[in-house]
Chain A
Amino acid sequence: MNEEPKDIKSIFAEAIEKKSSKERAAFLDKACGADGDLRSKVEDLLRAHSQAGDFLEEPPIGSIVTLGDPHLTEGPGTIISRYKLLEQIGEGGMAVVYMAEQKEPIRRKVALKVIKLGMDTKQVIARFEAERQALAMMDHPNIAKVLDAGATETGRPYFVMELVKGVSITEYCDKNKLNTRERLDLFMQVCNAVQHAHQKGIIHRDIKPSNVMVTLLDGQPVTKVIDFGIAKATSLELTEKTLFTRYAQMIGTPEYMSPEQAEMCGLDVDTRTDIYSLGVLLYQLLTGALPFDPEMLRASGYAEIRRTIVEDEPPRPSTRLSSLGEEAKKVAESRGTKIALLVARLRKELEWIPLKAIRKDRTRRYRSAAEMSDDVQNYLNGAPLIAGPESTLYRLKKSIHRNRALVISIFSILAVLLAGIVVSMVFAVRAERQARISQAVSDFLRNDLLGSADPWSGRTEGATVVSFLDAASKRLEGKFADEPLIEASIRYTFGSTYHHLGRYSEAENHLRRCLEIRRDRLGNEDFETLNCMRELGWVYRELGNNKQAEMLLVEALEGMRRTLDKEHDALLSCMGWRAGLYFDQGRYDEAERLYAEGLEVIQRKLGAEHSWAAVYMHWIGVVYQNQRRFDEAEKLLTEALDIRRRTNGDLDSETLYIIHDLGLLYSDQERYEDAERLLAEALEGRRKVVGEGHPETLRLMGTLGRLYRRQGKLDQAEQLLSECYRKSREVLGEEHPTTSDLIPDLAVLYYRQGKIDEMAALTDNVVEVVRSGLLDESLNPMMLHMIHSLGMWYLHIGREVEAETLLGKALEVRRRMLGEEHPDTQASVGMDYFRRGQYDKAEPLLIKALEDERRKEGQEVPPLISIYNLALVHHRQGDYDKAEPLLVEVVELSEGVLIEGHPDTVAAMNELIKLYEAWEKPQKAQEWRSKLPRKKGTEEQ
């Protein structure tokens, strides 16, 4: 049969390629010749070929291999050893769980878990036996005991456990809409259970929601961790042969698997793997999502899953939640809360707990389940957490390790940035401006540089850079003892970075030492020395040490003038700073002169239309504004704005500052509509560019709010100012100047609205601080004026204790600071007599004080209380004719300033009525009585 297999093959092959039967026959005649046997064989094959259709073309498996019933042999009724299976209660990739009945030695119901996967049953049971004693020692209300193990008749391993009737912890929490607190309570039970097991030497290795059940005991939810000891027994040694098994198991629940487990160097898994899984579980309980998207995980291959778990940093829970979109709404709902609240709660520390637990490096996780539970308790108690963001240095190190190129590029940007700062400082000419730049720089560093490199960037302002600098500063000490100039330049870099991050005392420390070294080594006229001098001078100004600031800035400026080209950037910058100091000191002429000199250089060097020219014009405009040279100011600011809009666009930060200042100028000129239009534009721009909670946006909200208030749009003002105050407290904190500056603003507003309680709520703190004496050192005439006025208000509303504190403090400090004869002191003395009822002595002093007050320009609220007080003094002394016009004036002035029916207006009217009655002018009294707002009846007595 097989004499000529090759021939038959090729004859057949050629034959089927012949187009027609005729051709084919001719071919066969030739090929087979006389061999009839061969010929018939080939013809049989050719016939078969034509009949075969798609024979064998469809593979035998593909569509035809399907999953058979994997547990066809076990089912309800099957008896396995001492257990009779009752019903199937669960099924996973790896196992089927039955409720089973045990008859002896005791009758009870148990859970019996049959492992589906193919594995070496003997080994599984041997491993289980090895741990059996330890398992038996576990006795904890939150652990379901594993009672027995064995092999089914089909040779599969099975485990017998305490039967837990309940649902998985995640399902329970979501179904019952447990809030965060309730979830944390349950979670702590889980921690305690795991801690107990760990103490007995048992690692779970497979903690996940389906292994943490919640059951009700006397109506109270109790967690039960099931499957202790099973994962270990069923995990196989790592050999090439068992890789599949591990892979298949891993496919089951990679989301909860620690990096060390995923790496499958399985020998080395310890209790910290459970801490990791607990972290993922907590993450899920809090956010409803897993650190890594399960769908994405599963879509990738095994190697990618492993890489993700081992390398990728999971997003912060709050970030993950925000990324859920619509889903997040449901998540919040099932926790009985709102998304924003949930995110805020997570941001406010809670999320650091799961993040600490799921760190890749297990030495940086919680050391035990108990520690993790303690930290949850800390959170609930409002105590400081053990967990926190990874230290910057650690993260930097790690990202250097991970991604060298990225980090190098970050540092090069940082270097460019530091160089850029020198140039940008040209424009930093006064405190506010300085603060703006610091903020911008720190935002930039935090968000754009480090933030992009690391999703766990620091919580506090500039924290990442600052902590990096702090750590680096410490290591700088003594390191360059032989290379003082290198030390000096590092200190200069650190110092100026600290400076721009607003850390002035650290900046001062570095810059001062830099300057010492440079003076010593390079001399006083060296460029490097002068540069450092200039920087340190401005830092002293930030620290409030104007004397030192001026000394250094003057020295630096003079040195630079002597040694540098007139157009040198550093000289320009130094001039700007020197001018800023003049500006602070109110020496506007000198400030203007220096700015103008700078402007002239810029215009000559860079052109009149250059964006820098706009900046200098802007600041000169601000000087004019402060000198109340409004027309000149307007001209400059408008021109600056034009240039800047053209060169840098409408949303450029400097453009927005110019708009802001121009708005303020219009406001000063009482051109409220123009002012409102500009300020609203600036606010809109800020919101667009830096967002709602940014200090700059807040500052603008404040400005616009004040403008509304000035215009008497009190409701709009209140809306904006109170929102601004709330946000500012939230974002910047109670102590921040932007926040505290809002207090007097809101106070004036509330005063005008007659909202006494709201106002007192704000100002009571002031009383406290004044009483404490903490401010005594730093009080200045301006602040004393505020304290005095506030004291008058407290007296006016009848809160004499507070009034005495404030008025007394003002009197005491004014006497000491300004001397007895100073008008302010005299006003205080006047109020002192007034308070004691010594009206004759008070009278001349109050008259004088009121004259001074009336002379003040641009007051939003006239000195109503002072006028009223003086009227009282006249009235009490029987000088009706002097009191009358004053009281009428209070009523008239209050119109449009105070809301209708304001208590002060009413008080003045009542006082007038009393006066006319005492004066025996009943008609006049009646006239005023009829003007009183409605509730006449009570007022008439």
Chain B
Amino acid sequence: MSDVTRILFAIEHGDAQAVDKLLPVVYDELRLLAAQKLSQERPGQTLQATALVHEAYIRLVGSEGQNWNGRGHFFAAAAEAMRRILIDNARRKQRQKHGGDHQRVGLDDADIAIEEPSTNLIVLDEALTKLANEDRVVADLVKMRYFAGLTLGQAAEIIGVSRRTADRYWAYARAWLYQEITKSEKPPSQ
């Protein structure tokens, strides 16, 4: 049994601390996987979060856990991990843009470059943190849907709500976050 499987079992069996152990492992693996995936490809090649997360799952847990409940924890952790990876990158880029740390990017700052996203990730993340304080479950759903690329159906299953509820949560979260971001950046034009 792999480390991750063991942790997932522990979570399943109510070991709350195990959740804390899961995230770093998933985070490391996803980073490494992303970095290696990308270094295998020619510049300009793209990579899908969904594929990355699923591959990480297969590697870490194995295919035998395909229909197993514990995987919800894994994907939750993966979504959080992906969020951190992407936000870290966005932060680093921002630093570079401001003429800041022009020095080497060590291995720990993987060689992932993110093209100018349509959404300012850092601002989004701040808003998301606020939302999480207000409504943890809705924020988790956003992480899964947005950062880990899961479908709403998959996310619903993991969170343990109906698909219809997930749709509603998602609509709510989008409106909430949009409002929050537009409020902080500039007053909405209308």
Contacts and interface: CB of A to CB of B under 8 A. Distances in A.
B13 to A, nearest CB: 20
Interface stretch (A56-64, A180-188, A925-933): A56-64
B42 interface: yes
Contacts of A87: none
Interface in B7-40: 25, 28-29, 32-40
A49 B172 CA distance: 8
B59 A48 contact: no
A90 interface: no
- For chain B, what secondary structure do more than half of its interface residues adopt (helix, strand, loop), or is it mixed? helix
A117 B38 CA distance: 10
A117 B46 CA distance: 18
A154 interface: yes
B115 A64 contact: yes
Contacts of A47: 179, 188, 190
A13 B168 contact: yes
Given A5-B134, A154-B105, A62 B48 contact: yes
Contact of B39 (A2, A13, A66, A117): A117
Interface in A18-72: 44-49, 51-52, 55-70, 72
Contact of A118 (B32, B48, B124, B172): B32
Contact of A64 (B32, B114, B174): B114
A67 B119 contact: no
A93 interface: yes
A244 interface: yes
Contacts of A245: 32, 36
A72 B109 CA distance: 13
Contacts, number: 182
B179 A65 contact: no
A73 interface: yes
Interface string B51-81: 0000000011000000000000000000000
Nearest to B113: A68
Contacts of A775: none
Contacts of B28: 241
A772 to B, nearest CB: 70
A536 B124 CA distance: 93
Interface string A131-162: 00000000000000000000001111000000
Residue of B36, B60, B111 contacting most chain A CB atoms (<10 Å): B36
B173 to A, nearest CB: 8
Contact of A49 (B113, B147, B171): B171
B29 A9 contact: no
Contacts of B111: 67-70, 72
B100 interface: no
B179 A12 contact: no
B39 A70 contact: yes
B177 A45 contact: no
A264 to B, nearest CB: 13
B132 to A, nearest CB: 12
B86 A61 contact: yes
Contact of B175 (A49, A66, A153): A49
A813 interface: no
A46 B172 CA distance: 9
A48 B113 contact: no
B104 interface: yes
A247 interface: yes
Contacts of A440: none
Nearest to B34: A65
A120 to B, nearest CB: 9
Contact of B176 (A48, A58, A60, A67): A48
B178 A55 contact: yes
A118 B119 contact: no
A920 interface: no
B43 interface: yes
A290 B10 CA distance: 46
A9 B168 contact: yes
Contact of B107 (A13, A56, A118): A118
A243 interface: yes
A121 interface: yes
A248 interface: yes
Nearest to B147: A60
A61 B40 contact: no
A60 B117 contact: yes
B46 A65 contact: yes
A62 B46 contact: yes
Nearest to B169: A9
Contacts of A60: 49, 86, 114, 117, 119, 121, 146-147
B146 A56 contact: yes
Contacts of B134: 1-2, 5
B188 A55 contact: no
Contact of A69 (B3, B43, B188): B43
B182 interface: yes
B119 A66 contact: no
A65 B112 contact: yes
Contact of A117 (B36, B50, B105, B147): B36
A251 interface: yes
A45 B38 CA distance: 39
A850 interface: no
Contacts of B187: none
A297 to B, nearest CB: 15
Contacts of B110: 118
Given A60-B147, A118-B32, A244 B176 contact: no
B59 A155 contact: no
B111 to A, nearest CB: 5
Contacts of A52: 174-175, 178
Residue of B121, B149, B168, B188 contacting most chain A CB atoms (<10 Å): B168
A79 interface: no
B175 A12 contact: yes
B107 A44 contact: no
Nearest to A54: B118
B41 interface: yes
A63 B46 contact: yes
A716 to B, nearest CB: 62
A16 B124 CA distance: 23
Given A240-B2, A240-B3, A45 B175 contact: yes
Interface string B131-170: 0011100100010011101000000000000000000110
Interface string A87-99: 0000001000000
Given A61-B86, A118-B32, A244-B32, A13 B172 contact: yes
A55 B118 CA distance: 9
B99 interface: no
A73 B105 contact: yes
B114 A61 contact: yes
Contacts of B44: 66-67
Contacts of A49: 171, 174-175, 178
B86 A244 contact: no
A67 B114 contact: no
A56 B174 contact: yes
B112 A48 contact: no
Contact of B104 (A56, A59, A66, A154): A154
A109 interface: no
Given A13-B171, A52-B174, A73 B43 contact: no
A924 interface: no
Residue of A55, A153, A154 contacting most chain B CB atoms (<10 Å): A55
22 contacts: A2-B133, A12-B171, A12-B175, A46-B175, A55-B174, A56-B174, A56-B178, A59-B49, A60-B49, A60-B86, A60-B119, A64-B115, A65-B46, A66-B45, A68-B38, A69-B113, A72-B111, A93-B39, A117-B36, A154-B106, A241-B3, A244-B36
Interface of A: 1-2, 5, 9-10, 12-13, 16, 44-49, 51-52, 55-70, 72-73, 93, 116-119, 121, 153-156, 240-241, 243-245, 247-248, 251-252
Q: Which 3 A-B pairs have the closest CB atoms?
A: A68-B113, A48-B179, A13-B168
Given A55-B178, A69-B111, 8 more contacts: A47-B179, A48-B178, A51-B182, A62-B46, A66-B43, A66-B45, A67-B42, A67-B111
